[in-house]
Amino acid sequence: MAERREPFRQALVDLRRRLREGDLAPGTRITAKEIAEALRLSPTPVREALSRLAGEGVLEERRGDGFFVPDLSAADIAALYRLSEQLLLMSQRAMRPSTRDLRPPEPGTDDDPIRRVERLFLAWAAETGSRVTIEAYRTVAVRLAPVRRREVDLIDDLAQEAEALLRLADPARRRARPAAIQAFHRRRAALVEQLADLVGPTPMGGA
């Protein structure tokens, strides 16, 4: 019962996935032709998807040069973590009961602690029932994705941290979430300079 996506939606979903999973690093130039060939689509819907992502601030459009994954400075990274923190705290103040099963996956189904926490946080943002909040959080999460993929170089207990957060999926432990959200983000706020160095700005005139 495979559902056929329209070409624009297919391109948009694929680009979001690549950005979210860190396949497209800051400074990467993205061409409609390459994406269209990989997905076996016409370049037109791919260009539309790229334009949509540029409008959201996820990509940068440089006239005459195409689309790029934006470079991130330490100040950018700090701002993105602050936005992530505030959106998640706002979601907890909404106090809507969760309609999702937030239990961690069975062992072996997904051992990536970064992906597990990303899914958990997105589910928490969704508890607001507000599409605006959900889309705002999703955009911030996509922009942070390449940074989060480098946290492993600086934080050696990501798996234990993820397990502790996932235990808070239990509605009975909801009151503990705000403090955990703050601790998670403030820990990273102290590392923004190192994370910016790891992500690395593209040299001027590069690409």
Residue 157 burial (CB count, 10 A):
10
Residue-level pLDDT at 76: 94
Residue ranges in the chain whose pLDDT is less than 50: 1-4, 98-99, 101-109, 202-207
Its pTM stands at: 0.81
Residue-level pLDDT at 109: 47
Both tokens assigned to 95 = 């106090």
Q: How far apart are CA 8 and CA 108, in angstroms?
A: 34
| Cα–chain center distance at 97 | 24
Burial class (CB in 10 A: 0-12, 13-18, 19+), 160: exposed
Contact 31, 47 (CB under 8 A): no
Q: Pairing state of beta strands 29-30 and 60-62? A: unpaired
Residue-level pLDDT at 201: 54
